[in-house]
Structures are given as C-alpha cells and as structure tokens.
Chain A
Amino acid sequence: DAGITQSPRYKITETGRQVTLMCHQTWSHSYMFWYRQDLGHGLRLIYYSAAADITDKGEVPDGYVVSRSKTENFPLTLESATRSQTSVYFCASSVTTGGNHNEQFFGPGTRLTVL
C-alpha cells in the first residue's frame, strides 16, 4: 500500500538498550523527518534528511542517530535508551521544503516506553 508506515507501533525497552524505529515511505519524497511528541509540548524535530545520504540535526538530536541509505527508508536509532526518551515518535515526509504547499505527511507513530 502507498503511504508512510512506521514499525513497530509499540515498543517497550529498558534503559541502556539500543532501539531502532523504522520509517518507510512509498512516494519517493525527498525530505523525511523524525519528531517526538510529549505531553505539554508540540512536536519537536529530532532529525531530518533532504535526500539519501544527507541528514542533519533538528532541535532535539541528542541521544539519537539516523541514516538514510535509500530514499524510502529513514530509521531512527536510540543508541542507549533513557527514560527521558519515552515518547511517541512520528516520521514524516514531504516533496521538498521552503514553499507554501510543501505539506508534510505523517506516519501513524511509534509509542516507545523506556523502563
């Protein structure tokens, strides 16, 4: 099916473990984004990618690593999970940015709990 998907949808892990959240889009969009959503905060940008092999930090990148070897995939890795990384993570994609109609399309989210 076309669209943007995330896996897993739910994940429970322990402090110190490495966790990878997957994101896949079928539109061949150039830009992909990772956000986290926490109570009392708007979505905050973790990392983004303008194209395959091009990634850059967002507002809250500490403790996260990304890669983008293929246009359609943008995995997010927590190298050593901490309780403060308990959150709902959203992946998004867009054709480009910097214009008036560059809508970002969001995935369904991954709810991550770090014990």
Chain B
Amino acid sequence: KNQVEQSPQSLIILEGKNCTLQCNYTVSPFSNLRWYKQDTGRGPVSLTIMTFSENTKSNGRYTATLDADTKQSSLHITASQLSDSASYICVVSSWANNFGNEKLTFGTGTRLTIIP
C-alpha cells in the first residue's frame, strides 16, 4: 500500500530560525515528489516538484531534498518568517493505469508555527 509519512506532526520555532521537515514514503512506481504549503483555511500551494533524478531543489528560502534510494525527502526552511506558519504537505506521485495515469499520495502534513 502506498504511504507517505511526515514528521514531526507539529513544530514550533522562533522567527528567524531554520527548520527541517521530514517525509518518508513507500510509493511505487515513483514518478515525482512534491511539497505543498497550506495556509489555514486555504488550499495547498505547490512549493517544489522533484523527479527521480533531482536530489535538491530550491524555491526562495525553501529547499527540498530527495533521496530516492532511501525513499526520504526533507524540506528545509531558512530564516523563518511569521508567514511561514502553515501546514506543509509531502505528496508522492506514482504512475497508474487509472486516476488519469498519475496517482498522488498525500501525507498528513507537518503543522509549523513561527513565533515572534
């Protein structure tokens, strides 16, 4: 069964500090891995999409890493800001004969709170 597990479930850090969120997955066959940011009361917004051959990708202060051998990914946030308070969702895409040829498996997210 395809699964995506994220840790920690929640995290509180001081503004300006760095943090790293983890994602482990058992999804096959692997297509790509995505990180989404979801603000409270809003829909998820894509931060990065990484394919099998990419092991790091940045989007401003967000840097995602992917180790396809160990099936792990991380999202590192540098110099956190109050606006970074949100849930961060790891999503793994697998090839499928249905679901429009691509099935997304969503993690339950890490709830990040930045305090001043």
CB within 8 Å of B: which residues of A?
Answer: 31, 40-45, 48, 50, 56, 58, 90, 92, 97-109
Contacts and interface: CB of A to CB of B under 8 A. Distances in A.
B105 A100 contact: no
A101 B99 contact: no
Interface in B80-114: 89, 91, 95, 98-109
B99 A45 contact: yes
Main secondary structure, interface of B, reads strand
Main secondary structure, interface of A, reads loop
A41 B105 CA distance: 11
Contacts of B44: 43, 90, 106
Given A50-B100, A97-B100, A103-B49, A42 B42 contact: no
Interface in B44-65: 44-46, 49, 51
Contacts of A102: 102
Nearest to A98: B101
Given A42-B4, A98-B101, A98-B102, A107 B43 contact: yes
B49 A100 contact: yes
B95 A98 contact: yes
Name which of B32, B44, B107 has the most chain A CB atoms within 10 A of its CB. Answer: B44
B99 A41 contact: no
B49 A31 contact: no
A104 B49 contact: no
B31 A100 contact: yes
Contacts of B99: 45, 48, 56, 58, 97
B116 interface: no
A90 B87 CA distance: 15
B42 A109 contact: yes
Contact of B104 (A41, A104, A107): A104
